[in-house]
Amino acid sequence: MTALFGLDFRGKPVVVVGGGTVATRRVRRMVDYGAQVTVVAPEVSDDLSRMASHGDITVVRREVQPGDLTGVWFVVAATNESAVNAKVADWAHDQRIWCTNASDSHVGSARTAAVSHHSDIAVGVVSTGEPDPQRIRGVRDALADFIDSGAVSLRRQRAHGGKVILVGSGPGDDGLLTMRGRQAVAEADVVITDRLGATRVLSTLSPDVEVINVGKSPDNHPVPQHQINALIVDRATAGSTVVRFKGGDPFLFGRGGEEVHACLAAGIDVEVVPGVTSALAVPALAGIPVTQRGVSNSVLITSGHAGADTAALAAMTSGATVVILMGVAALPVIVEAALAAGAGAQLPVAIIESGSTDRERVTRGDLGSIVRIADETGVKPPAVIVVGQVASPGLLADDVSATPEP
């Protein structure tokens, strides 16, 4: 029976014998684990040469010798010659050093696991009988998919210090929630959630996970930001893992910076999980590229709460794309300011409501007509407004392939 142990390679000296494809893969893994890696081989791959040039590893270009193992913590025998690998495994055995043999796991004191990582948990799969790499990778991948689906709670069961994870959940479709974001939700004792974002995933949580809705709408802020900050700090101080579940990305008009500051000021460990921002994702899902070669080489993202700022007006008159979030109520003021600043009345505009959800709707017009069209069609927030030539209907069908690279 093969026993499984988790080994901490950080700062430990590791020797990898061999410089081919298999050795390169093993070296990458050891470097990721934080090991101090020395590669011993007459010839090494281009990848290993680049890693050595960057100082990530040390390469000794010659045949391996018994003295190369002196003082080493772990050895990987990964040459293309099974006899050499077996000899290295014997040397490691004599010196009481753990060793994996890439050509024969029966010759060596350790086996390499197929590993998947989920937050601060690693799941490893090894063969206890005849080696079968494809088989153990298949089992690992199936387990990883199951864990990352959110079907497994990752909550700590022993008492632990509180922490906060700010999770950007994207524009609404739960398929756009990142893997790390999904893992964080599975770790949560408390979720403090916005009104928008991938909130459907919260229905999968255990009933004993506390879910607090502090979501705002344009005309209704039931929980002021300072109270949200205090709530986050209070639950984390009590020892809970708190997930602050936010729509879009937490640092793009999401007040995530204020929440991080509140945590740090209270001495609370905080992690930020970036999210897919609606400013870029929602236009893309609607078939609008915010930049397009030969059409627009830059994009400005702005909040529409206070109307159009000077940077947005300058961008509208210079050919750049302007993406406006939270701008439906101020649309008449923004359009009036843009026209007064010299933007053309024919400049295309697209408004995407409830982007990425089954309620998505796209309304198009130009600066001269969009206020009237939005009023007639009853455009409502949440919506992303795109101003610029990229919002032209059928842009992607136009042939711009002959346009030279900028």
Helices then strands, counting H and E runs in the chain, come out as 11, 17
Residue from 191, 167, 171, 121 nearest 270 by CA: 167
For 71, the enclosing helix (H) or strand (E) is: none
Q: Which two tokens stand for residue 47?
A: 């990848």
Residue from 61, 74, 78, 75 nearest 25 by CA: 78
Q: Which two tokens stand for residue 108?
A: 């060596």
Which amino acid belongs to residue 318? S
- Give the active site residue among 216, 234, 309, 380: 216
φ/ψ (deg, to 5) at 167: -115, 120
φ/ψ (deg, to 5) at 241: -85, 115
Q: Catalytic residue at 87?
A: no
Q: What is the largest CA-CA distance in the chain?
A: 84
Per the DSSP assignment, residues forming a β-bridge with 17 are 40, 77
Q: Catalytic residue at 216?
A: yes
E strands, 202-333, are 210-213, 241-246, 269-273, 299-303, 321-325
Residue from 295, 294, 250 nearest 270 by CA: 250
Residue from 360, 355, 365, 361 nearest 392 by CA: 365
Angle at 199 between CA 195 and CA 205, to 5 degrees: 130
- Give the active site residue among 173, 194, 246, 249: 194
Residues 386 and 1: their CA atoms lie apart, in Å, by 62
First CA to last CA distance, the chain: 62
Residues 93 and 364: their CA atoms lie apart, in Å, by 72
Residues 338 and 333: their CA atoms lie apart, in Å, by 9
Contact 162, 237 (CB under 8 A): yes
Catalytic positions, written as ranges = 194, 216
